[in-house]
Amino acid sequence: MKEHNDILFTQLPGVERFGSITNKTKGDKVIWGLVLLLALIGIMVVYSASGTLAYQKFKGDTESFLFKQVAFTIIGLGVVYFLHRVNYTIYSRVAQILFYVSIPLLLYTLVFGAKINDGSRWIKLPIINLTIQTSDFAKLALFMYVSRQLSKKQVDINNFKKGFLPIIIPVATTAILIA
């Protein structure tokens, strides 16, 4: 018996070829379809929003930002595909390390961060001449850490001391350092 998602997906035109690809991947076909749809919409939005700027800056070449966005989207989708193939228990182990690395990074950014647009929320990496926003890293680390904690403390979730505090303290600490 076919699942509802399979029936819905196979009724769309041109999905026969896509079906052979999704049979080799793990995960929900609808979610993968939505990820691809959002990626395509993102490419169109960037092209639409940057066309005038690209025309002025690159003397009529309106596709420069488009090609850059397509390249980043393909790389991003490749990373997502690779990461979804990794055993999820590894993320639980990595989450705690990432969270404990993100707090000193946020403190470093607060004290020594590069000022960009009147905010010192960036760290400049001198070797590769790149600036990174540590708050984005911290938000991802916090999301993973809270997920790990919720998974481990399911029995104690209704207990304020054992369930709520171990989750809200890291959230509050990260929020204060980001704000």
For the stretch 141-179, pLDDT in tens is 999 999 999 888 888 888 888 888 889 999 999 999 988
Among 84, 104, 119, which residue terminates a domain? 84
Do 73 and 136 lie in one domain? The reply is no
Do 151 and 118 lie in one domain? The reply is yes
The per-residue pLDDT for 111 is 85
**Overall number of domains in the chain:** 2
How many H-runs (helices) and E-runs (strands) does the chain carry?
7, 3
Collapsed DSSP state (helix, strand, coil) of residue 159: coil
Average pLDDT, stretch 19-45?
81
Give the CA angle between residues 174, 133, 117 to the nearest 5°: 110
The per-residue pLDDT for 133 is 87
Do 123 and 68 lie in one domain? The reply is no
Do 62 and 120 lie in one domain? The reply is no
Do 77 and 94 lie in one domain? The reply is no
Do 49 and 92 lie in one domain? The reply is no
With 70 as the cut, is the pLDDT of residue 24 above it? no
**pLDDT tens digits for 126-140?**
888 788 888 999 999
Do 80 and 101 lie in one domain? The reply is no
Do 131 and 112 lie in one domain? The reply is yes
CA–CA distance, 99 with 89 (Å, rounded to integer): 16
Q: What one-character-per-residue DSSP string does 89-144 give?
A: HHHHHHHHHHHHHHHHHHHHHHHHPEEETTEEEEEEETTTTEEEEHHHHHHHHHHH
Residue 39 or residue 125, greater confidence:
39
Do 102 and 51 lie in one domain? The reply is no
Please state, rounded to an integer, the average pLDDT across all residues of the chain. Answer: 82
pLDDT band, very low/low/confident/very high, at 1 (cuts 50, 70, 90): very low
Among 60, 84, 108, which residue terminates a domain? 84
Do 154 and 92 lie in one domain? The reply is yes
Collapsed DSSP state (helix, strand, coil) of residue 155: coil
**pLDDT tens digits for 63-109?**
878 888 899 999 999 999 898 888 888 988 899 999 999 999 999 88
**pLDDT tens digits for 63-75?**
878 888 899 999 9
Q: How far is CA 45 from the centre of its chain?
A: 18
With 90 as the cut, is the pLDDT of residue 36 above it? yes
Do 77 and 12 lie in one domain? The reply is yes
The per-residue pLDDT for 100 is 94
Residue 59 or residue 79, greater confidence:
79
> Residue 117: which domain range?
88-178
Among 68, 84, 100, which residue terminates a domain? 84
The per-residue pLDDT for 170 is 93
Do 126 and 148 lie in one domain? The reply is yes
